[in-house]
Amino acid sequence: MADKDVAVKKYVVRLSTEGRAALEAAIRKGKSSAQRLLKARILLKADVSEAGEGWSDSRIIKALETSVSMVYRVRKQLVEEGFEAVLSRKQRATPAVSRIFDGEKEAKLIALACSKPPKGRARWTLRLLENKVAELGIVDRASDSTIGRTLKKTFSSLIAGSNGSSRRRPTAPS
């Protein structure tokens, strides 16, 4: 308790009894992600309420082997967004990779991949599909990895749905 130096901090952590109990229970169980457990520990150490330890940021950083920015962000998020926001993962506003093939375009890609390959070819390759979707104007351009990812998702779900298993059946030796 002697280490409670509440300097003029912009984001002061004051936890309720219920909040402390929830954080302590989460740490005791240890079933949460490492990131969530670290945030819980930071909040418990930074708490300046009667039950709290009120550690300084430097002491928290040293004890928990974390960074200045992590402690700052946790304090800030608690004050600005609330208790639940600190412990839950922030949802992305946009996906990491935007989808090029939405419903209709994906259907056209699948139909193309299921069609007969170009003359002189035994099967469609990702490179051939890449060129053909641009030529047909399905999309302006797409990489072979995007096409492969789209087809893998589609065909793996079709295969799994047809017989309940996504594994290929072995062929009889000839």
96-107 tens-digit pLDDT = 767 778 888 888
Quote the tokens at residue 27: 């740490």
How would you write 123-138 as a 3-class SS string?
A: CCCHHHHHHHHHHHCC
Residue 155 is predicted with a pLDDT of: 65
**Helix or strand holding residue 159 (H, E):** helix 144-163
Average pLDDT, integer, range 67-83 = 92
Cα–Cα distance measured from residue 123 to residue 6, given in angstroms and rounded to the nearest whole number: 70
Q: What is the pLDDT of residues 32-74, one digit of tens each?
A: 889 999 999 999 999 998 888 889 999 999 999 999 999 999 9
Distance CA 83, CA 100 (A): 37
Q: What is the pLDDT of residues 7-41, one digit of tens each?
A: 446 889 999 999 999 999 989 998 888 999 999 99
165 three-state secondary structure: coil
* Measured CA distances, 119 to 112, 116, 130, 162, 163 (Å): 14, 9, 17, 30, 32
Q: What local confidence, expressed as pLDDT, does residue 5 receive? A: 46
Q: What is the DSSP letter of 142?
A: -
Q: Identity (one letter) of the amino acid at 23?
A: L
Judge if pTM exceeds 0.75: no
